[in-house]
């Protein structure tokens, strides 16, 4: 059986330390991953990604195009991916909303692509320049029907580079759209990052073989490109393993939708990443992600110096969601705390499996959650 392959390649920049904004780091992570196509539309606070790709992608033999809107952007990305290129777009909440039909098409046609969402305070135009984290559920449920894309949550400029690279690798490995769920606060943050000499990149399996079905337990079929002479038949309608429309056949639809879920869920252990801080003996545990996890770790470290039994679980992967880990963790805690720059989107997922009391703190005022807020909440719980 042929599979996606892993290779070591040189990064997009000479090895060394760089001072980058999060958005610049996303662009270099994408270039290092071998991105060859960017189609996008300007929107705050993501536009610096697009601007850097406009300058850098042609230098590296890729294609950049500014499309007429976000709907066209995701469509061009899917077309480019089927023509054989690693492809991406970047936008913010309003653009993600417009892209949802296309993202659903990418899920259903198993088109690898990377969608960077630099989240800002919504809904609607909201606070266009301010931070938010309100697109987590949209990434999972925004498109009609059942879809299971992958979503990653970076907390630093270094991770904007690292996780963008990983997003491409996961997309190519599993033939699925992968979201990088950035936040304005990290996108516009500037930090020193290390670019390694070589990075590990995944190259898709171009076949031969049926492009939309497999008997292998892996569940990920090969993906030839347009022009390979395979006479590909790609459609967003329910299709058999060769691509022929089977819109009247219940079994074909069931097999396809279930396989698209299983190919992700059966590899959850390979996909899901997280970090635990001081959880071994913690009685109070925080679950956080993205920028908020930095505030949380700062607060946890301060309280640990006072000898308080607090810890942090930081989620780097939001979809598929790590229900098992959260269930096991909360079984050993007296109290679980969450902090989110939305009305409790991830907290709802935690609630599904939480085995201890859960305190949810939400903040939707366009500012980051301060470590002082987190510290105060922990003290309340411990008192």
Using CB under 8 A as the criterion, which residues of the chain lie in contact with other proteins when the complex forms? 17, 19, 36-37, 39, 63, 65, 67-69, 71-73, 75-85, 87, 101-102, 105, 128-129, 156, 185, 188-192, 225-227, 229-237, 243-245, 294-295, 297-298, 301, 368, 370-372
245 touches 237 (CB < 8 A): yes
**How far from the centroid of its chain's Cα atoms is residue 188's Cα?**
18
Whole-number Å distance between alpha carbons of 273 and 263: 17
Minimum CB separation of residue 134 from other proteins in Å reads 19
Minimum CB separation of residue 127 from other proteins in Å reads 9
- Residue (78 or 272) nearer to other proteins, CB: 78
- Residue (22 or 285) nearer to other proteins, CB: 22
Minimum CB separation of residue 84 from other proteins in Å reads 7
196 touches 32 (CB < 8 A): no
Q: What is the DSSP string of 249-284?
A: -HHHHHHHHHHHHHHHHTTHHHH--EEEES-TT-SE
Whole-number Å distance between alpha carbons of 371 and 310: 14
The H or E element containing residue 121 is strand 113-121
Minimum CB separation of residue 368 from other proteins in Å reads 7
- Residue (17 or 250) nearer to other proteins, CB: 17
Q: How many CA atoms lie within 13 A of 140 on its CB side?
A: 14
Minimum CB separation of residue 354 from other proteins in Å reads 26
Closest listed residue to residue 114, CA positions, set 154, 144, 157, 146: 154
- Residue (229 or 250) nearer to other proteins, CB: 229
- Residue (239 or 335) nearer to other proteins, CB: 239
- Residue (73 or 330) nearer to other proteins, CB: 73
Minimum CB separation of residue 186 from other proteins in Å reads 9
């Amino acid at each position: 059986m042929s599979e996606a392959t892993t290779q070591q390649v040189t990064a997009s920049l000479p090895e060394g330390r760089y001072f980058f904004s999060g958005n610049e780091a996303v662009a270099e992570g994408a270039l290092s991953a071998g991105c060859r196509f960017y189609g996008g539309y300007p929107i705050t606070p993501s536009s610096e990604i697009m601007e850097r790709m406009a300058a850098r992608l042609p230098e590296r033999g890729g294609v950049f195009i500014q499309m007429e809107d976000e709907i066209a952007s995701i469509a061009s990305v899917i077309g480019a991916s089927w023509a054989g290129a690693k492809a991406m777009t970047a936008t913010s909440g309003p653009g993600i909303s417009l892209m949802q039909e296309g993202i659903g098409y990418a899920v259903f046609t198993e088109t690898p692509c990377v969608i960077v969402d630099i989240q800002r305070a919504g809904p609607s135009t909201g606070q266009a320049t301010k931070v938010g984290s309100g697109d987590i559920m949209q990434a999972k449920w925004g498109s009609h029907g059942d879809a299971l894309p992958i979503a990653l949550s970076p907390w630093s400029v270094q991770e904007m580079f690292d996780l963008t690279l990983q997003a491409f690798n996961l997309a190519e490995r599993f033939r699925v759209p992968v979201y990088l769920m950035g936040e304005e606060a990290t996108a516009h943050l500037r930090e020193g990052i290390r670019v390694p000499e070589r990075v590990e990149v995944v190259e898709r399996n171009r076949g031969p073989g049926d492009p939309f079905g497999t008997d292998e337990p892996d569940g990920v079929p090969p993906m030839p490109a347009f022009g390979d002479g395979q006479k590909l038949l790609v459609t967003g309608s329910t299709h058999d393993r060769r691509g022929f429309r089977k819109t009247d056949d219940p079994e074909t639809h069931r097999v396809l939708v279930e396989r698209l879920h299983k190919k992700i869920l059966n590899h959850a252990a390979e996909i899901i990443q997280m970090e635990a801080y001081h959880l071994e003996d913690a009685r109070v545990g925080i679950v956080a992600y993205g920028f908020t996890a930095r505030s949380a770790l700062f607060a946890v470290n301060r309280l640990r110096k006072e000898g308080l039994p607090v810890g942090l679980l930081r989620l780097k992967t939001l979809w598929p969601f790590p229900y098992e880990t959260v269930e096991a963790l909360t079984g050993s805690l007296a109290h679980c705390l969450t902090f989110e720059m939305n009305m409790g989107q991830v907290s709802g997922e935690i609630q599904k499996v939480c085995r201890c009391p859960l305190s949810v703190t939400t903040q939707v005022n366009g500012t980051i959650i301060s470590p002082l807020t987190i510290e105060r909440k922990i003290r309340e719980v411990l008192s």
